[in-house]
Amino acid sequence: MSGQPRQPRWTQTWIGGVRAAGADLGYPGERLGLPEHGKGAVAGFGRRFGALLVDWLICVWAIARGLFGADPASASWIGLAAFAVENILLVGTVGATLGMRLFGVRVASVRPDRPYFLAIVIRTLLLCLAVPALIWDRDQRGIHDRVSGTVVLRS
């Protein structure tokens, strides 16, 4: 047996994903014609999570609790509404929320033109449901991005 390449264990194919089985799927965004690294590349999970956390804290603590004086029980619903309004207005006009700007990411269309306003509204509603944003494809696009024809890029 020495000298022969070692076969992967069967658990490596489903625990480690298709890359562990030896399939080369390319880097995230390659199918979309995006660079692998730097400006214009698909934004990683850490940047997206950081931006989401900042936006959520702004909406819940600064807007819901600070501006409206909401109690903790209703602050989450007011914060969610503020989060939706922030996303629709800011992503729809400048392509990024406050948190996204802070973490250097933006939302772009996979088509040559800007994302349509209706697509941003649909994207935001799905993002507020949370689950569609947690299911990603190999280009690191959640269901909310796939449905709206958008991708989150490094800026």
Higher pLDDT, 98 or 16: 98
Number of neighbouring beta carbons within 10 Å of residue 12? 14
The DSSP bridge partners found for residue 154 are 105
- pLDDT band at 71; cut points 50, 70, 90: confident
* Per-residue model confidence as pLDDT tens digits over 74-85: 888 999 999 999
Residue among 27, 54, 53, 25 nearest 38 (CA): 27
* Per-residue model confidence as pLDDT tens digits over 88-97: 999 999 999 9
Q: Which helix (H) or strand (E) holds 139?
A: none
* Per-residue model confidence as pLDDT tens digits over 101-152: 999 999 999 988 888 999 999 999 999 999 888 898 989 999 999 999 999 9
pLDDT at 7: 56
Whether pTM exceeds 0.85: no
106 within 8 A of 152, measured Cβ to Cβ: yes
The alpha-helical segments, DSSP class H, found in the chain are: 10-15, 45-57, 72-86, 92-93, 98-103, 117-129, 131-134, 143-148
